[in-house]
Amino acid sequence: MSDIALDEQMTALPERAEAIRRGGAADTRFRMLTLAAAIIVVGIFAGVITSLTIGAMPAIKAFGWSFFTSDAWNPVTEKFGALASIYGTVVTSIIAMVIAVPVGIGIAIFLTEICPRPLRRPVGIAIELLAGIPSIIYGIWGLFVFAPWFQEHVQTWIVDSLVDVPYLGTIFGGPPYGIGTFTAALILSIMVLPFISAVTRDVFETIPPVFKEAAYGLGCTTWEVMWRVVLPFARTGVVGGAMLALGRALGETMAVTFVIGNAHHIQSSLFAPGTTISATIANEFTEAVGEIYLSSLIELGLILFFITFVVLAAAQLMLRALESRAGGAA
């Protein structure tokens, strides 16, 4: 190496050292910024739990565990129980997911495998636009359009057809009001459908085409390719989309408030009016007079917060288990 080249390298060393120092300082600032963002999120989470717990403390002291086992809700006598609201929240969400998950997966399969290419984008956009409709619009449409139609053309026929069938006659019996728990679940299923279909479609599109081509080359039908290749490969994303939709269904307020009937009783029939935690809070928060009444509503919010947290935590554990199982199989 010549003396000139050596002198140039020696001259550039301080500049390189300064660049490395600046880069290290930038990385440190970036790490501190991201750490601060994470701490803020955790702080908000802890603050919400703390404020809800403090607000719910009078009701917790007054009712204890009976708040979870009683469906009484009488503001006059200040007797409150969350059982009817918890029941309505869980039942409407489960029914909505039972309806929406197969339909959402079917839409994703249609858009990725069956739908003609010119129609894929328009149909996909139309489905995703459902997610942008405000929930109060769903509620108004459900109350004034869907519920009367459902009462006249579907609910009456179901009640008459199943009246003599054991168990089903009780579950789908009673006066056809149009509104009720089942109607609220149907509205919820329409609301969460875009989330499931959009996430599932995006996951399906990430599957390497060679996998499906190989399956078709072995003589598999479209159904066999979807069932044996696509769904196993994308099951983590499908479960994630379903859990995202379930979180939306558990906390939905206005649309459910319009069509569920807002009755604080547990009925054996799904067609009977009911209530949910969010609907109860939305309906009665402005009328809550007295410490116990207001504290009971806040405790309902704390319960909903806990249910949502448990569902999302269970979803994370399920996704990790699926990923571990897939890794072990590989």
Give the number of other CB atoms < 10 A from CB of residue 12: 11
Return the structure tokens found at 217.
């080359």
83's tokens: 């059982």
In this prediction, residue 212 carries a pLDDT of 83
Q: Is 49 within 8 Å of 305 (Cβ atoms)?
A: yes
- DSSP character at residue 50: H
55, 148: one domain: no
Beta strands, E only, 162-304: none
* Residue 207, C-beta contacts closer than 8 angstroms, at least 6 positions apart: 229, 230, 233, 234
pLDDT in the model for residue 25: 67
- Select from 37, 63, 89 the last residue of a domain: 63
Residue 57, pLDDT score? 93
Angle, alpha carbons 235-221-192 (nearest 5°): 35
Q: Tokens 């790490």 appear where?
A: 31
Do 46 and 156 fall within a single domain?
Answer: no
pLDDT the model gives residue 205: 84
- Check whether residue 92 and residue 117 sit in a common domain: yes
Give the C-alpha distances (Å, rounded to integers) separating 150 from 133, 137, 141.
21, 18, 12
CA 67 from centre of chain: 26
Residues 74, 80, 84: CA angle, nearest 5 degrees: 95
Residue 129 token pair? 């636009």
- Model confidence pLDDT, tens digit, residues 49-64: 999 999 999 999 999 8
The angle at the Cα of 11, spanning 9 to 16, to the nearest 5 degrees, equals 80
Residues 11, 70 within the same domain: no
Of 47, 63, 79, the one marking the end of a domain is 63
Residues 212 and 241 in one domain: yes
Q: Which residues of the chain have pLDDT under 70?
A: 1-25, 322, 325-330
Specify whether 9 is located in the same domain as 98.
no
Does residue 58 share a domain with residue 71? Answer: no
Question: What is the C-alpha to C-alpha distance for residues 320 and 326, in angstroms, rounded to an integer?
Answer: 10
End residue of a domain, out of 42, 63, 84: 63
Same domain, 270 and 201: yes
- The total of structural domains in the chain comes to 2
For the whole model, what pTM was predicted? 0.84
**32 and 138 in one domain?**
no
**Same domain? 41 vs 71:** no
- Return the SS3 of 35: helix
- Beta pairing class for 73-74 and 79-80: antiparallel
Q: What are phi and psi of 284, to 5 degrees?
A: -115, 0
Do 116 and 178 belong to one domain?
A: yes
Q: To 5 degrees, how large is the angle CA 325–CA 326–CA 330?
A: 115
Could you tell me the residue range of the domain that residue 55 belongs to? 1-63
Return the CATH number at 211: 1.10.3720.10
Alpha helix positions (H), 110-152:
117-129, 135-141, 147-150
Contact 204, 234 (CB under 8 A): yes
Consecutive H or E run containing 80: strand 79-80
